[in-house]
Amino acid sequence: MSRYPKLFSMHRWTYLQRLLFFGLSGPILALNLWILSQIFRYFEHLIALLTISAILAFLLNYPVQFIARFYRSRSQAVIVVLLLTLAILVILGITLVPVVIDQFTQLLNNIPAWLEASNDNLEKLDTWAEHRHLPLNLKSFGTQVYTRIESQLQVLATQVVGLALGTLSGLFDTVLVIVLAFYMLLYGADLWRGLINLLPPKIGLPFSESLRLNFQNFFISQILLGLFMVATLTPIFLVLRVPFALLFALLIGMAELIPFIGATLGIGLVTILVMLNSFWLGVRVAGAALLMQQIKDNILAPRLMGEFIGLNPILIFIALLVGAQSAGVFGVIVAVPIAGTIKGTIDAIRLLYPPKVVPTDMVPSKPCIRVSTEE
């Protein structure tokens, strides 16, 4: 009889252990996440530089592999590719960058006049609606929007001044990124192999392959799609006589780096800015940009990206929000390929450990009991 109270106490102790485990796991996990976030905040600039260098080295590795066929050593191919990259950057810095900076400065100077002209147009529209007894009050709504835009412009102008003052540090960061990318191209494979070997083989190999495929599919495809939008919209905007055509086309193309919603956000922002100057010109700009976006999404994107990462759209938006909260714009850019890497790794591990399914023909059937109705 004494055995039953002992079994009951053991069962109760096991239940309390499970309850204690699940009760403490949440706070411990939250504490670890908070500690990791504080570490990330402290080393945020260094992590950003290392990540940008790694992405640059990853993208330059393809031309290095191609040019290495014509040289005896990989280091010579790396030097040739870096010299070509520096030459392209210098050419862009001499030709394209001054034009973009000049157009951006003129845009900031012209927006207040555009806001005033747009406010006058809304006042005329309100007067027209008032004579016809229509319930419109666009001027008050426009005033609120314009006040918000002016406040954002002041913040943007302050950031531009800060960027101009920090040109020297930005130049130092650029040189540091190029130097780090150079050494990553030379010795990054050995370092990455050593880091992967720290993980179990059944986890390290799927993770490495998933990371390579996701970042390759994402950055190469997004850069090519962004270049397509810039190359097609720039002449269209010039034909439509859109002010600051190159700047607006570059804005839409750069927004393409934000997956799935970037191009739409860029087109919407450019349309609003153009509408401040001319409503019907903004409508034409939106129509042309949306047409190019449809061509990109339905013809080019499926060929370049394929199935991409296979993430659910809801998970993509969650990844974008988490990336924005963690690291701002940079976090938004890398959030989706990181989420795809995690999903690809989990899928590969699940394939290594498939669930055990018991075949139905191995399950013994219960004998049928026949009830006789005959007396």
Residue pLDDT, tens place only, 188-224: 888 888 888 888 877 888 888 888 777 777 888 888 8
pLDDT at site 375: 40
pLDDT at site 288: 92
Residue 253, number of CB atoms within 10 A of its CB: 23
| CA separation for the pair 177, 171 (Å, rounded) | 10
pLDDT at site 156: 56
Show me where the domains of the chain are located. 48-198, 200-352
pLDDT at site 373: 45
Tokens of 158: 């302050």
251-260 pLDDT per residue, tens? 898 888 777 7
| CA separation for the pair 51, 129 (Å, rounded) | 55
pLDDT at site 347: 79
In the chain, which residues have pLDDT < 70?
1-13, 15, 21-22, 24, 120-122, 124-126, 128-170, 303-311, 353-375
pLDDT at site 335: 81
